[in-house]
Structure 1
Amino acid sequence: MDSSSELKRVMSLVDALALFTIFVIPLPAHASPAEAQALLKWKSSLGNHSVSSLSSWTPSPRKATGSNLTVSPCAWYGISCNQAGSVIRINLIGANDEGTLDEFPFSSLSHLMYMDLSVNSVFGHILPQIDLLSNLTYLNLSINRFLGKIPTEISSLTKLEVLHLFFNGLNGSIPLEIGQLHLLSEVVLYLNQLHGSIPSSLGNLSKLARLYVYNNSLSGSIPPEMGYMINLKVLHMDTNFLTGLIPSTLGN
């Protein structure tokens, strides 16, 4: 086979691959209409103050496929997607959003890895359905108006590395189940109304580097199991009602 024939054969393969990529491989621009519709439903439940910050969240079609119009959230404010077009990040820090998580599309965002709704006016409860976000590595709901308990279902977020819930109105105790989140490196719960004892299960968090639980109403003694947190670098437990001795195991 001469060089010109070989070149033509290679170019034909390249053209075929290009067509395959265009028509077969899903593109981010129109790959997640279900996620878009679910997010729009949550937006519609929010207060009027949220309209301007989420103005890019519109049902305007991004691309027409045959007779169907599909919508993608990937270009919306605060939204990031993976190459397949699935939502993997929601970052609405300081977006002036006001409302609850009652209509938040937990079940539609199975690929979500990063969620930051901090510095807003989100109120109500942190719902048990948060366990559906099983791929979360980062969760920040701080500086809002959340009430009630930290749901025990948070233990299902086994990939979670960072948990920030500070400056809310959360009460109840720190759930024992938090000790099942073995990848946690940072837990920040200060300035809430948490009470009860510090759970000994925190000793299971061998990767934890920073723990902030000050300015709550925690009581009882410091569990000696905390000495098992061998990577702990920062520990703030002041302004509580702790009693007893500082356990010698903290020397570990």
Structure 2
Amino acid sequence: MILFLFSFRKKNSTDFDEKFSLTENGTNKIVLDNETGFSHYSMQIDSTIDGEFFSFINEKNNSVYIYNHENSNLVKKVKIDSQGPNGMGNLQLSSHKIISLDSILIYNLYTRILYLTNSESEVYWKENLADHNVNASDPNLEPSLSSPIIKVGDNVFFACSIDSYSTDYSSSYSVMRFNLKTGERKYLYALPEVYNSGYWGAVFKYIPSLDFNKTNGQMVLNYPIDPRLYVVSIDGEGKASSHFESTRYINDMNPLRNNISYGTKKDHSVSSPKTSTV
């Protein structure tokens, strides 16, 4: 799990004595071809019935590369059609999840469509998960490298961004749960109260990083302007527990504007996925 702790305010922090450090326990080296670029919007490590795999979307050739996580060998390179009956569009801004070697989820942030495809790039089904023509107030789904798609049973979880700036974020949800079998959608986890203390700037400041704790079966969320980790149930029931985490190198961070209504008076074009990067 990768957590990015960007900033916090003094009134939203505390002193603590516990110190932790990370220890390197190995290196995985993979061989890249000459079609692979230097950065990727979507990377995953997935444990499946077929084994454990490291994978990424190569935006340069619209393909999903799948490597054996144990020996780093390339297992599959799945070329994704951009057009036609199995077309999934340009994957320059897309996220994915390996369910098995023959079952891959791909979410295109441009079209807001979730695809289930096989290793031959044949689309089993597709679903529009954020149709703003139906409900303009739905949050934008923003899975990315720091907020990957999470799958628990038949449910998949997507980090969300705000669709528009507000003067009250108590009803603004940060995660959407989608059931692959029933198609049920549910928005979970309102933004923390600190977001109501001002205008925090660009949209990425409102997108959480998230991961699933397999040990206790709970979701873990971290917000860019909040030094706490939030532990919540996967069904959204009950009260979240919070745990203060931070770095000694950051002393204070204030909102871009103390007036929370500042964001509502400007055209930020926050509904465009091109402005939503983490």
Q: Could you say which TM-score interval applies, normalised by the shorter chain?
A: under 0.3
Greater per-residue strand proportion: 2
What TM-score does the superposition give when structure 1 sets the normalisation length? 0.23
What TM-score does the superposition give when structure 2 sets the normalisation length? 0.22
